[in-house]
């Protein structure tokens, strides 16, 4: 797709990370938070004679009445997650004192929702709430189509107290604030996931390795050994060290693991051809050339092969934990675990991502009603239920502290949760969905043997052209 088409799409009502997501991601993929600008504190040469008084916070929502509003929430959840979401919504509908009624509507995948949203932005057909990755929310905001929720979050009457705001994990809470849009809060986080390395512990031990790989060199040694020596308990033919799924978050995750990034937040440009990106893709290409890796050729094929014991390593979203567990139990019934993606730095760098919930512009009454549901959905009680049912990570510390029994019963979830402190994010910029399409093409070409540097240089130029076209559409 030519870059000028992206600009045209934005002009015709287009509208913006995952992880943002692993995911990659699955199912639920499966997004990088810009570092805050640092300003030096002013030099005070003389103490004030009396303490200044703070002006009261203006509350533009104080006199809005949400009573009786009917709210529509577009989402992508299925099966157990959808059931849990409907249960949370039903409880809110029964207990909220304003008679607000929320209706959940499944609208397909993240991409399906994104494609359905763009033509109806700023029309009466928009839902009141919609699941969106940060880059998708930014794209919507090119048309000035979303509500800035900062005033709701900070409303003395309807918002969150300072203590409640502090209960959110800081990185999660900050991820939906967009510097490119005047620090507007264009989404609110109900959950997050993370890219992790899934490994077959029993097979590793058969090959003489006791621990999951911490470095690329260790990863290669185990992957190549596995490709040459099948697992004794495998329930299918074949033997592979690693299967790479064509997904932009894989390129981002491996680049992070090699000590780099795919975006320069200070200068506002993509860096998909950074040295770390070149090194990581050269490493993966080498695995393919030596017969230690192959591409995933069908939906969740790596998950299936991992379960039947013909695949040693897979990289994917932590939201896939229950599916990998089920695959292993119904397949080779092998012991398995999760770990950080092998890295060159002292500490791992984990790709943390997740869609938030954005609020298209409607009416003040509907917007406030939608916010009150979001506030409930991200409250401690609902979050505990949602975390267990969805296998996503909760966004509030108070929830995590109450999951001791669950952590004990799900050690892989606990292992992944403990790595959240190493989290990093994919860029929440307009047009990232379009960039992802180009990244996927480049990733497939590299796996097929294309020159890594030449491919990434061309990819980076295209990505920055797409970004420039998108940014040109921001309303002043």
Query: What CA–CA distance (Å, rounded) separates 128 from 355?
Result: 16
pLDDT tens track for 158-217: 999 999 999 998 878 988 988 788 899 999 999 999 999 999 999 999 999 999 999 999
2-58 tens-digit pLDDT = 333 333 333 333 333 333 333 333 333 333 333 333 323 232 323 333 334 444 568
Tell me the backbone φ, ψ of residue 118, rounded to 5 degrees. -55, -40
Determine the pLDDT at residue 57.
61
> Is the per-residue pLDDT at 110 higher than 50?
yes
What mean pLDDT do residues 250-267 have?
95
Whether residue 89 is predicted with pLDDT greater than 90 in this model: the reply is: yes
Fold observed for domain 9-32+66-192+354-418: D-Maltodextrin-Binding Protein; domain 2 (3.40.190)
* Strand 293-295, strand 70-75: pairing: unpaired
109-136 mean pLDDT: 96
Percent of the chain past pLDDT 90, that is, above it, reads 75
Please state, in angstroms and rounded to a whole number, the distance separating the CA atoms of residues 293 and 216.
13
Pair of tokens at residue 270: 């993509």
CB 110 within 8 A of CB 131: yes
As a whole number, mean pLDDT of residues 267-285 equals 97
Looking at residue 160, the DSSP 8-state letter turns out to be: -
Distance CA 379, CA 368 (A): 16
Residue 197 makes CB contacts below 8 A (sequence gap 6+) with 212, 213, 313, 314, 315, 338, 339, 340, 341, 342
Mean of pLDDT values over 309-338: 96
- Which residues, 6 or more positions from 142, have their beta carbon under 8 angstroms from its beta carbon? 10, 14, 15, 16, 430, 470, 473, 474, 475
Whole-number pLDDT of residue 55: 46
- In the chain, the largest separation of any two C-alpha atoms, in whole Å, equals 81
Q: Where are the alpha helices (DSSP H) in 134-169?
A: 134-140, 150-153, 162-167
pLDDT: which is higher, 80 or 372: 372
DSSP code, position 141: G
Mean pLDDT over 210-234 rounds to 98
Q: What is the residue whose two structure tokens read 């959905």? A: 377
Per-residue pLDDT for 444 more than 60?
A: yes
The pLDDT of residue 40 is: 30
Once rounded to an integer, what is the mean pLDDT over residues 237-265? 96
What value does the mean pLDDT take over residues 429-449? 95
Degrees, nearest 5: CA angle 394-399-405: 100
What is the predicted pLDDT for the residue at 19? 33
**pLDDT for 278-323, tens place per residue?**
999 999 999 999 999 999 999 999 999 999 999 999 999 998 998 9
User: Considering the entire predicted model, what is its pTM?
Assistant: 0.78
Residue 56: its pLDDT value, please? 54
- Is the pLDDT confidence value at 246 over 90? yes
Displacement of CA 329 from its chain's centroid (Å): 27
Instruction: Give counts: helices (H), strands (E), the chain.
Output: 20, 15
Distances (CA, A) of 36 to 1, 33, 132, 191, 415: 34, 9, 23, 22, 29
| CATH match of 194-352 with 1.10.630.10 | no
425, 395, 394, 417: which is closest to 35 by C-alpha? Answer: 425
pLDDT averaged over every residue in the chain: 88
Task: For residues 72-90, give the mean pLDDT.
Answer: 96
194-352 matches 9-32+66-192+354-418 in CATH topology: yes
Cα–Cα dist 36/326, whole Å: 41
Beta-carbon contacts of 32 under 8 Å, excluding residues fewer than 6 positions away, are 17, 20, 261, 262, 263, 265, 424, 425, 426, 427, 428
DSSP notation for 207-226: TT--S---SHHHHHHHHHHH
For 392, other C-beta atoms within 10 Å of its C-beta total 24
Pick the closest to residue 351 from 243, 241, 260 (CA basis): 260
Segments making up each domain of the chain, as ranges: 9-32+66-192+354-418, 194-352
Check residue 58 and give its pLDDT.
82
**SS3 call for 262:** coil
DSSP state of 393: B
């Amino acid at each position: 797709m030519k870059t000028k088409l992206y600009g045209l799409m934005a002009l015709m009502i287009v509208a913006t990370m995952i992880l943002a997501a692993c995911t990659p991601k699955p199912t639920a993929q499966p997004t990088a938070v810009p570092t805050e600008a640092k300003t030096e504190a002013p030099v005070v040469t003389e103490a004030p004679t009396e303490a200044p008084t703070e002006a009261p916070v203006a509350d533009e929502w104080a006199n809005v009445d949400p009573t009786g509003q009917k709210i529509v929430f577009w989402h992508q959840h299925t099966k157990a997650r959808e059931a849990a979401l409907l249960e949370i919504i039903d409880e809110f509908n029964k207990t909220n004192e304003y008679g607000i009624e929320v209706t959940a509507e499944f609208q397909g995948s993240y991409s399906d929702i994104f494609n359905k949203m763009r033509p109806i932005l700023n029309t009466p057909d928009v839902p009141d709430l919609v699941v969106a990755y940060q880059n998708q929310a930014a794209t919507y905001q090119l048309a000035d189509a979303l509500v800035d929720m900062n005033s709701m979050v900070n409303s003395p009457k309807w918002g969150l107290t300072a203590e409640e705001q502090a209960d959110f994990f800081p990185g999660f809470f900050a991820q939906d604030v967009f510097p490119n849009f005047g620090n507007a809060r264009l989404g609110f986080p109900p959950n997050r996931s993370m890219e992790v390395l899934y490994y077959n512990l029993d097979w590793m031990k058969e090959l003489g390795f006791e621990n999951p790989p911490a470095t690329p060199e260790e990863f290669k040694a185990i992957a190549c050994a596995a490709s040459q020596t099948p697992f004794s308990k495998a329930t299918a033919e074949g033997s592979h060290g690693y299967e790479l799924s064509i997904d932009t978050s894989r390129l981002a995750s491996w680049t992070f693991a090699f000590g780099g990034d795919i975006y320069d937040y200070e200068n506002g440009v993509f860096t998909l051809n950074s040295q770390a990106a070149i090194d990581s893709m050269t490493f993966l290409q080498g695995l393919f050339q030596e017969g230690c890796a192959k591409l995933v050729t069908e939906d969740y094929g790596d998950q299936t092969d991992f379960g039947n014991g013909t695949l040693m390593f897979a990289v994917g979203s932590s939201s896939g934990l229950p599916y990998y567990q089920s695959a292993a139990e119904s397949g080779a019934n092998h012991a398995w675990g999760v770990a950080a993606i092998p890295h060159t730095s002292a500490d791992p760098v984990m790709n943390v991502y997740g869609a938030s919930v954005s609020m298209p512009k409607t009416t003040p009454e509907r917007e406030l009603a939608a916010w009150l549901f979001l506030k409930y959905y991200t409250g401690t009680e609902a979050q505990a239920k949602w975390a267990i049912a969805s296998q996503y990570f909760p966004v509030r510390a108070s929830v995590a502290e109450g999951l001791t029994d669950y952590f004990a019963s799900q050690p892989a979830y606990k292992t992944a949760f403990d790595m959240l402190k190493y989290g990093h994010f994919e860029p929440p910029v307009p047009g990232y969905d379009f960039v992802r399409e180009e990244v996927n093409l480049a990733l497939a070409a590299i796996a097929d043997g294309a020159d890594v540097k030449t491919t990434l240089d061309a990819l980076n130029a295209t990505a920055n052209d797409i970004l420039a076209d998108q940014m040109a559409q921001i309303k002043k």
